[in-house]
Structure 1
Amino acid sequence: MENNLNDIKDIDYSLYLVTDRKVLGNRDLCKSIKEAIQGGVSLVQLREKDLGTNEFYKLAKKIKKITDEHDVPLIINDRIDIALAVDADGVHVGPDDLPISVARNILGPNKIVGASTCNIEEALEAQKQGATYLGVGAIFPTATKSNTDDVSIEDLACIKKAVNIPIVGIGGINEKNASKVMTAKVEGIAVVSAILGKSDIKNAANQLYEIIRSSNR
């Protein structure tokens, strides 16, 4: 049940921000996301594993207002119920979440369903089940997520060639190594601390934006 990509708007995956409030410290998440978007972030994933449903819903509503104002898609990590409740643009699911095919059936053809993969077999299966895009990694060591599989730049390039849906590299990507990831001809990079962990969030996002833009020339 491969997804009909013509039913989904043209998404810019180039600079994909995944949230983590622990990285922010005492700084406000909403304000930080707005600054990141102003710096060039093209897509936001709200990832809140430790929040209760009501808190997550209220936060998602606030973030959705910001992303709507800037015409940036909002993806909800794992929680399809929250995505539906706030009319987010889609969800991102991992191997321990609901199957991609189930998420696709619930959300329908016009929502984004992203999936985490780390090899060609998983990537092909995710595409078959209806994934809109794939987050592939971890490309480099990362402190924001444990128990990740290692994926080399060469592996990333092979996965990119094997599927016909967009690929986003994820895992330990920052301003020092982002250009290496883009050599795999992927559609973008997903980052957490490389933006939210910096003192000047807008500038950090803009720096990555410029690196990606230069890589695509």
Structure 2
Amino acid sequence: MNTSMSSRSYAHMMAVTNRHLCDRDFLEQIEFLASTDIDAIILREKDMTPDEYEHLAKDVLMICHEHHKKCILHSFAEVAAKLNCENIHLPLPVLMELSEKDALESFKHIGTSVHSVEDALAAEKAGATCLTAGHIFDTDCKKGLPGRGLTFLENVCHRTKLPVYAIGGITPENLEVVRHAGAVGGCMMSLSMKIRE
């Protein structure tokens, strides 16, 4: 894989982190990503304890702030509120639960992942402001599971008023294909942990 950033643009893309896929210092990679034209960084480290996640999130938020880059915390809503981060990405069941408790007021960006049109409509009703839909293409992250494809993405995008980011096998080379299907952009995980200057 060519991981050079020299001539690539990552506009209309969000990086989704997985520190286990990163083969250099994780915060160095975050610093690099924050220096690109990527839309946002989603700190998705769900295997951490809340305390561990809070410690890491403080560093990532600081880096993103220095580069004027949007940082979206993932899953740990209480940590996000404690750190005054207005951007959160929640699993759909958690989003629906917190919505019922009116516990989302402190967030401006509320993302969630959807895997069907029904999910998208439920997320919209629950107060989501942004969706990630996938997985679109075959990817090593979902080995053995075929991608849902562009027709699925088109259906989601046409049935919701919310901005949709495609996820699953997204690269700069196929970004325009998913945008043509109605997505505002794409999310990348494995690639975002490997790209270099």
Structure 2 length normalisation: TM-score? 0.84
- Cα distance in structure 2, aligned partners of 1:145 and 1:111: 30
In structure 2, runs of 5+ residues without a counterpart are 1-10
The amino acid of 1:173's aligned partner reads I
Corresponding residue of 1:211 = none
Give runs of ≥4 in structure 1 deviating > 4 Å.
145-149
- Cα distance in structure 2, aligned partners of 1:87 and 1:162: 32
Q: How far off its partner does 1:50 sit? A: 2.0
Q: Which of the two has greater helix per residue?
A: 1
Q: How far off its partner does 1:49 sit? A: 1.9
Corresponding residue of 2:4 = none
For this pair of structures, how many residues does the alignment match? 186
Q: How far off its partner does 1:163 sit? A: 0.9
Q: How far off its partner does 1:144 sit? A: 3.2
- Cα distance in structure 2, aligned partners of 1:106 and 1:66: 27
Corresponding residue of 1:171 = 168
Structure 1 length normalisation: TM-score? 0.77
Counterpart secondary structure, 2:103: helix
Corresponding residue of 1:152 = 149
Decide whether the 8 Å contact of 1:78 with 1:94 is kept in 2.
Answer: yes
- Cα distance in structure 1, aligned partners of 2:98 and 2:162: 19
Once superposed, what is the RMSD of the aligned Cα atoms? 2.2
Q: Percent identity at matched positions? A: 27
2:67 maps to which of 70, 80, 83: 70
In structure 1, runs of 5+ residues without a counterpart are 1-12, 203-217
- Cα distance in structure 1, aligned partners of 2:139 and 2:43: 18
1:99 maps to which of 95, 101, 105: 95
Decide whether the 8 Å contact of 1:18 with 1:44 is kept in 2.
Answer: yes
1:27-86 C-alpha deviation (Å, 9 max, x unpaired): 122221121122211111101122222221110000011111222221111111111122
Q: How far off its partner does 1:149 sit? A: 7.7
Decide whether the 8 Å contact of 1:137 with 1:149 is kept in 2.
Answer: no
- Cα distance in structure 1, aligned partners of 2:20 and 2:118: 33
